[in-house]
Amino acid sequence: MTVERKKIHPYKFSLWLGLAGIIMMFAGLTSAYIVKRSQPGWESFTLPKIFIYSTLVILVSSVTVQVALKAFRERLMAKYRLFFAITAALGLLFISMQIIGFYQFHASGKRMIGLGSNPAYSFVLAIAGLHIVHILGGLVALSIVFFKAFGRKTRNYDVVPVELIATYWHFVDILWVYLFVFFSLLH
């Protein structure tokens, strides 16, 4: 029984397909946004500063997840765990900052929901909110893999789950950067 490694792992392949699906979802929303923007009644806006910082946080978390992956490949388990934990913490921080950002936005009179809300602001909440859900999904997957590594009696050096998570994490990171630039340019 030889194990050939020339083809892409089916799980990774599935992940890429799944990412294509997510792209379509956000493509749908952002094109709806573009169409809406060209119609009367649109109000332009600038995002609160905190979104710049949250963008930095998520960018850093991409680095840490990459470090974790590298550590895992080199079987530096302590380091891997540390950086996985940091990544998770940064993810949580990002989510909190986004939510604070929403509140600031809302408080500055740009009502996103309820009476007097404008679709322009509602879009920010819907799109960025949906993005948060995707980060949460990443966090759940991350924790599962993280705690599994502790739970096993035998040591498990299967790198695939870690690679999957790293890829996904980079993806949601880039996705946010795209959305951020998008909101900033087309406000």
Partner 1 sequence: MSNEIAVQHGVASHEVHEHHDGHHHHETFITKYVFSQDHKMIAKQFLITGIIWAIIGGLMSVLFRIQLGYPEATFPWLEDIFGHWAKDGKIQPEFFYALGTMHGTILVFFVLTAGLSGTFANLLIPYQIGARDMASPFMNMLSYWFFVLASIILLSSLFVQTGPASGGWTVYPPLSALGDASQGSKIGMDLWLVSLAMFVVSSLLGGLNYVSTILNMRTKGMTMTRMPLTIWALLFTAILGLLSFPVLFSGFILLLFDRHLGTSFYLSDIVLGGNILPNEGGSPILYQHLFWFLGHPEVYIIILPTMGLVSEVMSINARKPIFGYMAMIASMFAIALLAFLVWAHHMFVTGMNPFLGSVFVLLTLLIAVPSAIKVFNWLTTLWRGNIRFTPGMLFCVGFVSMFISGGLTGIFVGNSTLDIHLHDTYFVIAHFHIVMGVSAFMGMFAGVYHWFPKMYGRYMNNTLGYIHFWVTLICAYVIFWPMHYEGFAGMPRRYYDYSGWESFKHFVELNRVISFAAIVSFLVQLLFVFNFFYSIFKGRKVTTLNPWNANTLEWTTPINPGHGNWPGEIPEVHRWAYDYGKDGKDFIPQTEPVSKDESTH
Hey, which residues between 128 and 157 contact partner 1 (CB under 8 A)?
A: 130
**Overall size of the chain counted in residues:** 187
Spatial distance between the Cα atoms of 106 and 75, rounded to a whole number of angstroms: 46
The least distance separating partner 1 from the CB of residue 21, rounded to whole angstroms, comes to 5
Spatial distance between the Cα atoms of 21 and 61, rounded to a whole number of angstroms: 23
Closest to partner 1 by CB, 31 vs 96, is 31
The burial class, CB within 10 Å (0-12 / 13-18 / 19+), for 24 is exposed
Residue 27 lies near partner 1 (rule: CB under 8 A): yes
Span of 123-131, 137-145, 170-178, 179-187 interacting with partner 1 by CB under 8 A: 123-131
Residue 161 lies near partner 1 (rule: CB under 8 A): no
The least distance separating partner 1 from the CB of residue 22, rounded to whole angstroms, comes to 7
Question: In the set 44, 78, 116, 153, which binds partner 1 (CB under 8 A)?
Answer: 116
Kindly compute the dihedral angle of the four CA atoms of residues 48, 49, 53, 56, in this order, to the nearest 10 degrees.
90
Residue 78 lies near partner 1 (rule: CB under 8 A): no
Residue 86 lies near partner 1 (rule: CB under 8 A): no
Of 160, 187, 165, 185, residue with least CA distance to 65: 165
